Copies of this chain bind each other. A is one copy, B any other.
Amino acid sequence: MFNHMVEHHLDRVFHALSDPTRRTILDRLAEGEATVGQISRPFPISFAAVSKHLGVLERAGLVTREARGRERVCRLNPAALGDARAWLGFHQRFWSERLDALDAMVGQKSGKPD
């Protein structure tokens, strides 16, 4: 059902998401577009390393880089998360009987059972 060509794309998306630096980059990008320099500044690693992380995110389709002068503006591309969401959603359906307990753990915002 999900085993078409999406597969290898899903590989890249989940792999991109598996690194904490890259997730932090996405967190930052969620607040608005930023240049590579702006993104890399708070990280304790080299500029080039961040540029490579951006490459991974871009190849996964999660981020776009647009040249603007000598800078490169990075933006989120949430469409790529769709595959991951769809995969997770697909499994949610299968695992549903145990997802009751799961939702109680994750979304414990109130006593709301549903």
Contacts and interface: CB of A to CB of B under 8 A. Distances in A.
Contacts of A84: 84, 88
Contact of A78 (B27, B85, B87, B98): B98
A45 interface: no
A49 interface: no
Contacts of A82: 102-103, 105-106
Please provide the 8 A-B residue pairs with the shortest distance between their CB atoms, ordered closest to farther.
A14-B18, A78-B95, A30-B94, A15-B18, A82-B106, A14-B17, A78-B98, A82-B102
Interface of A: 2-3, 7-8, 10-12, 14-15, 17-20, 23-24, 26-27, 30-31, 76, 78-79, 81-88, 91-92, 94-95, 98-99, 101-103, 105-107
